[in-house]
Each structure stands twice: as structure tokens, then as C-alpha cells.
């Protein structure tokens, strides 16, 4: 067995629509480490409102496996496929998984404007739960936000972060 087979990494997995939670449960029962980022959303029905936890990324979850567990994951009911990038299974850096976990564990996020930063500029977060992470700034009219990209999924996470908590990154 090679050292590559024993190396554990995070991989994005595409699931059947609306089956992320059940698929995650099935993977955990098989002994696979799973991370399913959830966000609380207020849902309204005709007779009531209720807070529910929904997946942050529809039809995606993350597994931390070595090469030898690949078959075990792909054979789990609800798993459609791994996500590929340049003909290889895309992996997510541990730091990005930790960033998601840290961000989603927070309660409040203030709406603050950035005065000295420009649209498209890279910034580094220097304090708070996301300290050390880099992001790209995007803006709309009077409202600015920091965007952290998860390239392997082709999706972005929009965050509200105080201007005092970021500095520009110059290449």
C-alpha cells in the first residue's frame, strides 16, 4: 500500500437532489467522515413558519477519505459522483472546510461598507473566526461584501465582514 492511499483529503460529492442529509447519514454509518454545511432558513407554509436547516450547497457534501475508501463512497445510496477537475477528483483544502465550519457556527454578521478597497481586489481576513483566509471583494451600489470562492465546486460563499477585519493582498 502506497503512502498516497493512506493520505486523507476532503472531496466534494454530488448527491441526488434533496437527499444530502440521508446520504450523509448513510456515509457516516459506513465509517466515512462527512461534512454537510447547513444553514438555518425560515420557511413559510400556508399555516405556519418554521426554521429549518438546509444544505448550503444544494446536492453537495464533503467526504474526508483516502484513495482506498473511494469505492465505499461511490457505492453509497444517494451518491451520484465525485466532482472532477482536469480529469482528477477535485479536492478541497482542509483550510476551506475549516473556514466553512467556522463561518457557519457564527451567530451574527454585521453589514459594513469598505471605503478603501476596490471591486475584484483580493483581501486577507486578519481577525475574527475567518482569520488567515483570503477572499475576493465584490460590491453592489452602497453595499460591499467579501466573497470566498470554492473553486472545486464552481460556487462562492458571500459573507458580511467588517472592513476593520480585512487588509488588501498585493501579489
Q: Domain spans of the chain?
A: 3-92, 94-171
- By mean pLDDT, which of 4-13, 66-75, 106-115, 157-166 is the weakest? 106-115
Segment 85-109 shows an average pLDDT of: 80
Rounded to two decimals, what is the model's pTM? Answer: 0.66
Confidence of residue 107 (pLDDT cuts 50, 70, 90): very low
Segment 66-70 shows an average pLDDT of: 93
Confidence of residue 126 (pLDDT cuts 50, 70, 90): confident
Per-residue pLDDT at 110 exceeds 50:
no
Q: What is the pLDDT of residue 50?
A: 86
The pLDDT tens digits of the residues spanning 43-61 come to 888 888 888 889 988 899 9
In total, the chain counts a number of residues equal to 171
Per-residue pLDDT at 11 exceeds 60:
yes
More confident residue, 24 or 136: 24
Classify residue 92 by burial, with Cβ atoms within 10 Å: 0-12, 13-18, 19+. buried
Fold match, 3-92 / 94-171? no
Q: What is the CATH number of domain 3-92?
A: 3.30.70.940
Find how far residue 108's CA is from the centre of its chain. 18
Could you name the CATH architecture of 94-171? Answer: Roll (2.30)
Amino acid at each position: 500500500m502506497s503512502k498516497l492511499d493512506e493520505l486523507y483529503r476532503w472531496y466534494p460529492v454530488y448527491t441526488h437532489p434533496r437527499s444530502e442529509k440521508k446520504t450523509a447519514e448513510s456515509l457516516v454509518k459506513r465509517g466515512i467522515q462527512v461534512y454537510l454545511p447547513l444553514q438555518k432558513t425560515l420557511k413559510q407554509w400556508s399555516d405556519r413558519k418554521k426554521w429549518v436547516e438546509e444544505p448550503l450547497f444544494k446536492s453537495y457534501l464533503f467526504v474526508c477519505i483516502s484513495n482506498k475508501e473511494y469505492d465505499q463512497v461511490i457505492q453509497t445510496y444517494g451518491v451520484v459522483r465525485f466532482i472532477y477537475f482536469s480529469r482528477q477528483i477535485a479536492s478541497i483544502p482542509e483550510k476551506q472546510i475549516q473556514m466553512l465550519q467556522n463561518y457557519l457556527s457564527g451567530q451574527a454578521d454585521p453589514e459594513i461598507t469598505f471605503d478603501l478597497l476596490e471591486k475584484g481586489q483580493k483581501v486577507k481576513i486578519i481577525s475574527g473566526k475567518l482569520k488567515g483566509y483570503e477572499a475576493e471583494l465584490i460590491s453592489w451600489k452602497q453595499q460591499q461584501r467579501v466573497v470566498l470562492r470554492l473553486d472545486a465546486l464552481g460556487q462562492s460563499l458571500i459573507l458580511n465582514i467588517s472592513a476593520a477585519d480585512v487588509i488588501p493582498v498585493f501579489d
